[in-house]
Amino acid sequence: MNKFVKMDDNLDNFNQFSERKVRKDYQNKKFVNPYFSNEDKKDKGRFNTKFYLKILVLILLVYVLIYSNLLRINQIQINGFEMIDEQEFRQVVDKQLGSLRYYLLPQNNFLLLSKAKLANEISAKYDLDKLEIDRSWKSLNITIEERVSFLIVYNKQSFYFADKNGIVTREITKDAVGEYWYRFPILNIGDKNVNIGNEVTSAKIVDFLLRLNEKIINNQLEINGYELREGEEINLVSRAGWRAYFDVNTNLDTSVENLFLVLNEKVEDQNTLEYIDLRFGNKVFYK
């Protein structure tokens, strides 16, 4: 019986101790709620300096690598010029390097330069046999090999060089035409539209025209040039104003022989002559 009394006394003592402990903890305000942290609340209201500093450093790094002069191409070396105007060619390159990729990234950046895009811009202006673009530290090396030109063609818009296959290789400024006027045959192609790399006449006509022009020069006949006609025919246009009609399928030597036969033996005054038709072999018509 006394044993049970002692146990009750111990229980009462424990309860009293617990009540005092709770009152003491409450007064000291040391209660801890496991579902709410004061530290978390403090962090939410605090300015995250490290985070924004990282963002600032990242922005600065992007600017330095992309938009500053650190990686900007500042030297351009171009080799292989023969007839192409170097200044004109450089303007094409400079224009492309001054443009933006995706409306945002500068082409003149050493890391961001698109060689394919630059090559496309050059090829749209010049039809070359060879084009190599290499880049080294902040510099660009371009090597070209011009396609050999054989004649000058022109329409109402401009003048162009064409190769032996009648393919347009590049445009010529009107100021530069005078430099080449006596070095190449001049062919008027009428209203034909011209794009670099397009065929404006056939290789057969080019070959006939080159051989004809050589004979005309050797005989010192003054001409303004040639005209492209339908089919496989061309006209010679003389300084005096008359025209000679040629068919490229006829014998060139016979046609040229008949041309000068008419001029030397049949026509007294070339200023009164309108045409000489040489398209039918030895059957020659003139007026």
Tens digits of residue pLDDT in 74-112: 899 999 988 888 899 999 999 998 898 777 888 888 888
- The percentage of the chain sitting over the pLDDT mark of 90, rounded to a whole number, equals 49
Which of 91, 140, 99 has its CA nearest to residue 117?
99
Q: What contacts 24+ positions apart, CB below 8 Å, involve 227-233? A: 227/187, 227/188, 227/190, 228/153, 228/187, 228/188, 228/189, 228/190, 228/192, 228/201, 232/202, 232/204, 232/205, 233/279
What pTM, to 2 d.p., does this model score?
A: 0.68
DSSP-based three-state secondary structure for 116: helix
Looking at the predicted structure, is the pLDDT value of residue 2 above 50? no
DSSP 52: H
Tens digits of residue pLDDT in 193-246: 899 999 999 999 999 999 999 999 999 899 999 999 988 999 999 999 999 999
Mean pLDDT over residues 267-279, rounded?
92
Tens digits of residue pLDDT in 34-78: 554 555 555 555 667 887 777 877 777 776 667 777 788 989 999
Mean pLDDT over residues 137-142, rounded?
91
Mean pLDDT, the chain, integer: 83
Tell me the pLDDT band of 4, cut-offs 50, 70 and 90.
very low
> What is the per-residue pLDDT for 12?
56
**Beta partners for residue 141, in sequence order:** 77, 134
> What is the per-residue pLDDT for 56?
79
Q: Which domains does the chain have, with CATH numbers?
A: 75-146 (3.10.20), 148-191 (no CATH), 202-287 (3.40.50.11690)
Looking at the predicted structure, is the pLDDT value of residue 150 above 50? yes
Residue holding tokens 């040629």?
Answer: 246
